[in-house]
Structure 1
Amino acid sequence: MTLLTCTGLSRHVLREVDLSIAPGERVGLVGESGAGKTTLLRALLALEDPDAGTVTCEGRAVRPGPARRLRWYRRLVQHVPQDPATTLDPRASARELVALPVHRLGTPGERGRAARLVEDALDLVGLPADRRDARPRELSGGQAQRVAIARALVLHPRLLLADEPVSGLDLPLRALVLDTLRSVSEQRGSALLLVSHDVAAVAALCERTLVLADGRVVEDAPTAELLVTPRHPAARALVDAVPLLPDLP
Structure 2
Amino acid sequence: MALTRRTIIEGAAAFGAAGAALIPALPAMAQARRTAAEQVDQAELLVAGPLGDCILGQANAPVTIVEYASLTCGHCATFHTTILPEMKTKYIDTGKVKLVFREFPLNQLDAAVYMLTRCALGEDGKSTGDQARYFALINVFFQQQRTWAFGSDPLAAVTAITRQAGFTQAQFEACLNNQPILDALNQVRERATTVFAVDSTPTFFVNGKRVLGAQPLSEFDKVIAPLLPA
Q: TM-score, normalised by structure 1?
A: 0.28
Q: TM-score, normalised by structure 2?
A: 0.30
Q: Which has the higher contact order (CA 8 A, sep 6+)?
A: 2
Kindly indicate which of the two structures has a greater share of residues assigned to strand: 1
Kindly indicate which of the two structures has a greater share of residues assigned to helix: 2
